[in-house]
Structure 1
Amino acid sequence: MPHTTHANARLTPAGRLALARCVIDQGWPLRRAAERFQTSTTTAKRWADRYRATGEAGMVDASSRPARSPRRTRPRRERRVIKLRHLRRWGPARIGGHLGMHASTVHRILTRYGCARLAHTDRATGRAVRRYERERPGELVHVDIKKLGNIPHGGGHKALGRPRGRRHRSNAGYAYLHNAVDDHSRLAYSEILTDEKKETAVAFWERAHAYFASVGITVERVLTDNGSCYRSRLWRDLVRDQGVKHKRTRPYRPQTNGKVERFNRILVQEWAYARPYASESQRREAFPGWLHHYNHHRFHTALGGPPASRVTNLSGQYS
């Protein structure tokens, strides 16, 4: 197994061996050997003594780990930390509060035992989520519907406060956001529609498919959940005629459609409930501008830029 040299070491193992041999085998004074190898007499003596005691094997860095760690967390308590993580899905702060430990100590224990971050695990099973990304735009497009309560005229609870907002929201109805997100680029096409019937979903996909084609993206596959509109013959016939392969998520596994689920959360946080709108019409007027910002300007950490940066026909349209 190859040995690594400490980052601050002045001498490599070969240099240490040469220095030690000068002192032990050839009888050089420590000061002369130190000057020759541009180090201190203390360092020269240390390597010479180690060579005398252990030979060439002693020229590599010894482990800096202490022989005893009396303040290390006891194995029984470490097992409790791991058990709480797997059974309760708690983070370091909550586990630490429950066991009377510092969150930093809990974090080190979780890291030492190879526990994945909660953000990278399936909350239902506790298993690490396998992240993936398609190699090219259009290889897979995620489609989903997000249902939102309409804002009554005059504002909802964010504008009026929760007690008045509850009395004011009766019969406001719902908005259905049909969303299509390209897996590779995260480019999104979205519309606010009145329902989630099969005819509405099919008409939306026709327009979404045309939009992706207009920016040079050829859709190869589309992934949806198991909603009735996506199991209809109308949907099946449309995607077949388009030459698109339809895939559905496994039941009760929404994370399989994670790209569009993440888009739904961003949409809710940064547009739908970002400010206290006075009416549903005011919120809908803000939607096209927000969607343009998401596609062309909003920095995506996984991409290193906005979705448009990964789409050739959109890369110059940042106005």
Structure 2
Amino acid sequence: MPNANRSNVYRTLVCFGINRVPQEKKQQASTFKEYEPGYLHIDVTYLPKLAGKKQYLFVAIDRATRVLYFEIYENKTAINAVEFLNNCKDFYPFTITHILTDNGLEFTDKFVTKDKQVSGKHKFDKLCSRSEIEHRLTQPVTPKTNGMVERVNGRLRMQQLRR
């Protein structure tokens, strides 16, 4: 088409609807998987020193209902973690089926053993297996995996600092 001028070409392209460069198709946002009540995120965080004492905040939040439970302890130990889980079982009106925690020594012995595997001999793991609760661990150095409880920790810490 050596004699076709620019305006005619443009009008023809508009007529056929091909006058623009096609936009890239955006990937649709995936919907968040719905969970039944009973999947808890548990974490421990430090509280600011009050009266020269260090305190630890144990926090549990249910993934489905967002019901929050927390307690303050003097020490961050496996015994306190077991006590906290027992109190969670009493507090929540539903059966706890899964627990997601970080790799802290109060929750697992994964990094204490030579082969870096969970032995099942840790007090918290024993309680989970006796109670038929599946205990899952986050990947090391990835707090976003347990982000729901990490966000709650931040909010509680901010409330504590404002007082």
Q: TM-score range by the shorter chain?
A: 0.7 to 0.9
Which position in structure 2 is the counterpart of 1:238?
127
* Superposed displacement of residue 266, structure 1: 1.2
Question: Which digits, 9 at most, give the CA deviation of each residue in 1:83-129, with x for residues without a partner?
Answer: xxxxxxxxxxxxxxxxxxxxxxxxxxxxx9x9xxxxxxxxxxxxxxx
Letter in 1 for 2:145: T
* Superposed displacement of residue 133, structure 1: 4.8
Letter in 1 for 2:147: G
Which position in structure 1 is the counterpart of 2:97?
220
Change (3 A) 1:211 1:133: farther
Q: Which has the higher strand share?
A: 2
Q: How far apart, CA to CA, are the structure 2 residues paired with 1:207 and 1:243?
A: 16
Which position in structure 2 is the counterpart of 1:123?
none
Q: How far apart, CA to CA, are the structure 1 residues paired with 2:49 and 2:18?
A: 67
Change (3 A) 1:257 1:204: same
Letter in 1 for 2:42: V
Which position in structure 1 is the counterpart of 2:115?
none
Letter in 2 for 1:151: L
Q: Tell me if 1:189 matches 2:69.
A: yes
Contact 1:141/1:182 (<8 A) preserved:
yes
- RMSD, matched Cα: 2.9
Letter in 1 for 2:47: L
* Larger of the two Rg values belongs to structure: 1
Letter in 1 for 2:105: S
> TM-score, with normalisation over the residues of structure 2?
0.72
* Superposed displacement of residue 234, structure 1: 1.2
Q: How far apart, CA to CA, are the structure 2 residues paired with 1:178 and 1:131?
A: 30
Letter in 2 for 1:150: K
Gaps of 5+ in 2: 1-7, 110-121
Contact 1:176/1:196 (<8 A) preserved:
yes
Which position in structure 1 is the counterpart of 2:117?
none
SS, match of residue 162 in structure 2:
coil
Change (3 A) 1:274 1:132: farther
Which position in structure 2 is the counterpart of 1:296?
none
1:60-99 equivalences in 2 (<5 Å)? 60=17, 62-63=19-20
Q: Tell me if 1:135 matches 2:15.
A: no
Q: Tell me if 1:258 matches 2:116.
A: no
Which position in structure 2 is the counterpart of 1:58?
15
Q: Which has the higher helix share?
A: 1
> TM-score, with normalisation over the residues of structure 1?
0.39
Gaps of 5+ in 1: 1-49, 66-111, 115-129, 153-171, 276-319
Identity of aligned residues (%): 27
Which position in structure 2 is the counterpart of 1:274?
162
Q: Which has the higher contact order (CA 8 A, sep 6+)?
A: 2
